[in-house]
Structure 1
């Protein structure tokens, strides 16, 4: 048995791909940037407001730093990337439905 406990009970195929299949330093950085990219999408879909440029830069720097913590959690076989994918999908569906509802409210069709 050469598999570790975290590999046996891993529910995170994205992290497993980056950390085991790609492996090494490159695998960690690819995982980190995947998590960062998904976190930016989630932020933009659900929480972003129109901010001045300097405040936006500060927000993205803090998001970048926070993604290091998420990447460390992902190393310990927590499904961080998968959760961010699900959050992005749910927020994307919500935004699309909100867009359609507003469009129908502004341009009612005669039935």
Structure 2
């Protein structure tokens, strides 16, 4: 089983990353992509105004969780799912903002 055979089983974001980099760099880039998307999903959907230490604790736990998600993200659509979640939550936030602005104008 060659290296090209393994890439054939990856989802498109992981395949795009690993097709242009070596294994270690690709793993680091995939982790950064997953972590960035997870932070955006957290901020769009779940973030509350917290004290700085509690926020740091949440981001640290998110960082640890993303290392597991990166391992799963080689052959499962983790990054793709997070990307779709960012789009859905972004649309929700935009519509919510428009609805609040519309109700203030009325």
The residue number in structure 2 matching 1:74 is 73
The normalised TM-score by structure 1 is 0.87
In 2, the alpha carbon distance for the partners of 1:78 and 1:23 equals: 20
In 1, the alpha carbon distance for the partners of 2:23 and 2:93 equals: 38
The residue number in structure 2 matching 1:7 is 7
Displacement of 1:7: 3.5
User: Deviations for 1:21-76, whole angstroms, at most 9, x for unmatched residues?
Assistant: 3122111101100100000000000000111110000000000000000000012x
Asked if 1:37 corresponds to 2:8, the answer is no
User: Deviations for 1:68-98, whole angstroms, at most 9, x for unmatched residues?
Assistant: 00000012x1111111110000000000000
In 2, the alpha carbon distance for the partners of 1:13 and 1:62 equals: 27
Asked if 1:91 corresponds to 2:102, the answer is no
Larger Rg computed on CA atoms: 1
In 2, the alpha carbon distance for the partners of 1:38 and 1:61 equals: 15
In 1, the alpha carbon distance for the partners of 2:32 and 2:9 equals: 24
Structure 1's 8 and 26: CA in aligned 2 closer, same or farther, altered over 3 A? closer
Structure 1: state its 5+ residue gaps.
none
The normalised TM-score by structure 2 is 0.91
Displacement of 1:18: 1.6
After superposing on structure 2, the runs of 4+ consecutive aligned residues of structure 1 that deviate more than 6 Å are none
Structure 2: state its 5+ residue gaps.
none
